[in-house]
Structure formats: C-alpha cells, structure tokens
C-alpha cells in the first residue's frame, strides 16, 4: 500500500517569533504540536536521517566557572577526578574508533572558562585537523575565545563550535554568575565572524518556567541565520552540584522542547543531547518523531553516561530512521 499523500506547507524561515507565540506552541495539545513539528521535519529532512555525534572530554574538571548544573566546576563538589588532559594521538585514536562505529561528527570538550594560547591550543588545532582528515565533522566546546583563536580554528578546518546559552536571559543569573549571558552572545558572534558553524542550545529541568523555555528558544530563533545545530539537553542532576536535587524532567516536556525547536528552526540540526540515559526507547522515538535529527553516540557524554552503541543501534532500527553514513569532505 502506498503511503498517505501529505500536502506540506512551504517552509518559512522566521526570525521574529515572539516569546508568547513560542509559549503557545509549547502549550499546544501534544498531538497537535507533534503534527506541526512532523510537517516541518518531513519537509526539511525527508529521509528522516539522524546524525550520530560522538563526544570526548579532552580536559576534564577544575573549571573556574560556577555553572550550577556542571560537575566539572571547581565551585561544585562533584566527584570528577582531575583526569590528565588528553594528548593529540589518543584523541585521534578515539576519533577513528568513533568513525568506525558509525559516527559522523566528533565533538571534543575542554572544561575551560576560555581557550588558552600555547601548547594546549596548538594541540586542539592538531586534533581538529586530525578529525577532519578522518572524514568527520569536527566540533569543539571550550568556553570563550578571541577573534584570532576563532580564525585559527577555522583555518584548521573546524566545522562547528558549541557554546550553549543554557537557559533564558531571565533565569540565567540563577544558574551562572561568573560569565554573563551577553558574554555568551559575544562568543557566538566571534564564532560566526570566523565562518564556523554555530552549535548552540540549552538545558531544561533547572527550575525554569515554561516562559523561560520559550524565552531561550526565542533568542535562538532570532539569530540570523539560525544556529546550524541546537542541542537540547535534559538536566543530568549530578551529586555535588547545586542542582543535584532537581526532579527529573518529564520525558514529554523534552518531546515538546524538541518539537518547538524543530518548528522554529526548520533547517537546523536539533540534537537530543544529555539526559537520554534515563529515557525509555519509546520516549526517544517520540523525540525523533518530534524532529530530533541528531544524537550523541557512544557510552559517555563528558563525565556522565549515555546509552551504549548497541542500544542506539536498536533505537534507530526501532524508529526506522537511518544514520548519516557518508564521509564529510575535509
């Protein structure tokens, strides 16, 4: 039997969404929200393909920022032992293994307030070049950077720089006090000026209101162009952080956040990020249905767990979606 023909509306890229409009989307009956998100997603990504992104923490723990959710902050008492910073070769060994397991993007994290020049930055550049030579997209997340550092990362072939807004401008001061929302926006502008793709999203489950969620999405959707990738994280409440006692996010809230991100930013990659380990397969399938077209792939995120590769292969098969396969030109 042939599939039911659907007439899909033309995709409009808007940057003028209001917080109220976005909040009404978040509040739609779930079935109606999913229907709208599906219509957008089927048009933007007709093959329903999902990007697999592997993540590795190159420099772990001891960070000067006081992000309330983060086990790597020196202000928090989480048990993140100061692992030695990884060198270029072991990182590239991990990158090759991730590629061989099917990853399309390799993301590397540094627990820094900002990028430091010198040997660690030279190593970062070598890692970026190495990942690109392996035929994968390369993404770095390492805090704030200068224009010159952004240019050098672009010259090394960096595909994307991850720097999240994390939460709404209104809720921000309750989560981080050592770096402002404005500084985050300035870092993102430097990334854009250097011609690097922007990976920028946030976290739900940190005590924010629905209006805060709408406000975070409003700032993202107002960017022109939209961030090329938008990670949607559910808080992983880690012991020793001020947010350790937060109740876990209702999976359907995550589905709603993904769906609205998809409607607002039709062409962006919406990545279902932290928080998947405690989601059922059914909830994850709903997130894929709502428009998530990327997941973190591999047993760990930075310091916390992620579903293992076999579970994710089962998830993709159960949902009937296919991962990106082809190598990315260096």
Q: Would you report the helix, strand and coil content of the chain in percent, each value rounded to 5?
A: 35, 15, 45
Q: Give the residue with the Cβ less far from ligand DTB, 39 or 91.
A: 91
In the bound complex, what is the minimum distance in angstroms from residue 64's beta carbon to ligand SF4?
7
Alpha helix ranges (H) inside 73-164:
88-100, 119-133, 147-155
Residue 139 annotated to the active site: yes
**Active-site annotation holder among 152, 213, 262, 271:** 271
C-alpha atoms less than 13 angstroms from C-alpha of 62 in its C-beta half-sphere: 10
Q: Tell me how far apart the alpha carbons of residues 23 and 36 are, in angstroms, rounded to a whole number.
A: 15
Binder of ligand SF4 out of 130, 143, 242, 291 (CB under 6 A): 143
Q: Convert residues 39-78 into a mask of x (bound to ligand SF4 by CB under 6 A) and - (unbound).
A: ------------------------x-x-x--x-xx-----
Quick one: 131 exposed, middle or buried, by C-beta within 10 A (0-12, 13-18, 19+)?
buried
Convert residues 295-314 into a mask of x (bound to ligand DTB by CB under 6 A) and - (unbound). ------xxxx----------
Residue 52 touching ligand DTB (CB under 6 A): no
Q: How far is the CB of 71 from ligand SF4 (least distance, A)?
A: 8
Locate the DSSP E strands across the chain.
49-59, 105-110, 137-141, 160-162, 197-199, 202-204, 229-234, 269-272, 294-296, 322-323
Residue pointed to by tokens 């409440």: 237
Count the neighbouring beta carbons within 10 Å of the beta carbon of residue 1. 3
**Number of shown-chain residues binding ligand SF4 (CB under 6 A):** 9
Residue 223 and residue 271: Cα distance in Å, rounded?
A: 18
Residue 287 annotated among the catalytic residues of the structure: no
Separation between Cα atoms, residue 140 and residue 110, nearest integer Å: 8
Q: How far is the CB of 61 from ligand SF4 (least distance, A)?
A: 8
CA–CA separation, 32 vs 53, rounded Å?
A: 30
CA 19/CA 13 separation, integer angstroms: 17
- Select the binding partner of residue 313 from ligand SAM, ligand DTB, ligand SF4, none (C-beta < 5 to 8 A, by kind): none
Q: Does 273 interact with ligand DTB (rule: CB under 6 A)?
A: yes
What end-to-end distance do the CA atoms of the chain give, in Å?
Answer: 42
Position 187 contacts ligand DTB (CB under 6 A) = no
- The one of ligand SAM, ligand SF4, ligand DTB, none whose footprint includes residue 163, by CB under 5 to 8 A per kind, is ligand SAM
Summarize as ranges the residues that interact with ligand SAM (CB under 6 A): 63, 69-70, 109, 111-112, 141-143, 163-164, 166, 203, 233, 235-236, 238, 274, 302
Q: Which residues are catalytic?
A: 63, 67, 70, 107, 139, 199, 271
Which stretches of the chain bind ligand DTB, using CB under 6 A?
Answer: 55, 71, 107, 109, 141, 162, 164, 201, 231, 233, 236, 273-274, 301-304
Which stretches of the chain bind ligand SF4, using CB under 6 A?
Answer: 63, 65, 67, 70, 72-73, 111, 113, 143
């Amino acid at each position: 039997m042939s599939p039911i023909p659907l007439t899909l509306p033309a995709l409009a890229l808007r940057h003028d969404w209001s917080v109220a409009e976005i909040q009404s989307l978040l509040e739609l009956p779930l079935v109606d929200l999913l229907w709208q998100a599906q219509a957008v997603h089927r048009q933007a990504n007709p093959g329903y393909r999902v990007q697999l992104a592997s993540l590795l923490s190159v420099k772990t723990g001891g960070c000067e920022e006081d992000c309330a959710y983060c086990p790597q902050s020196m202000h928090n008492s989480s048990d993140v032992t100061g692992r030695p910073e990884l060198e270029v070769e072991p990182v590239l060994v991990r990158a090759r293994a991730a590629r061989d397991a099917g990853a399309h993007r390799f993301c590397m994290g540094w627990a820094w307030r900002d990028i430091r020049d010198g040997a660690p930055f030279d190593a970062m550049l070598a890692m970026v070049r190495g990942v690109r030579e392996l035929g994968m997209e390369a993404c770095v997340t390492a805090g704030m950077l200068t224009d010159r550092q952004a240019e050098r990362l672009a010259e090394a072939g960096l595909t994307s720089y991850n720097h999240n807004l994390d939460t709404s401008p209104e809720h921000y001061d309750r989560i981080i006090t050592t770096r402002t929302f404005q500084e985050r926006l300035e870092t993102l502008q430097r990334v854009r000026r250097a011609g690097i793709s922007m990976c920028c999203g946030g976290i739900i489950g940190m005590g924010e209101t629905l209006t805060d969620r709408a406000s975070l999405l409003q700032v993202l959707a107002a960017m022109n162009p939209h961030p090329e990738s938008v990670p949607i994280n559910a808080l992983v409440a880690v012991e020793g952080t001020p947010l350790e006692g937060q109740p876990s996010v209702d999976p359907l809230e995550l589905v709603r956040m993904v769906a609205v991100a998809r409607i607002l930013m039709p062409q962006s990659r919406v990545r279902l990020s932290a928080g998947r380990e405690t989601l059922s397969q059914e909830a994850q399938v709903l997130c894929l249905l709502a428009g998530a077209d990327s997941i973190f792939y591999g047993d760990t995120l930075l310091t916390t767990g992620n579903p293992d590769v076999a579970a994710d292969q089962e998830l993709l098969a159960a949902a009937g979606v296919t991962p990106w396969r082809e190598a990315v030109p260096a």
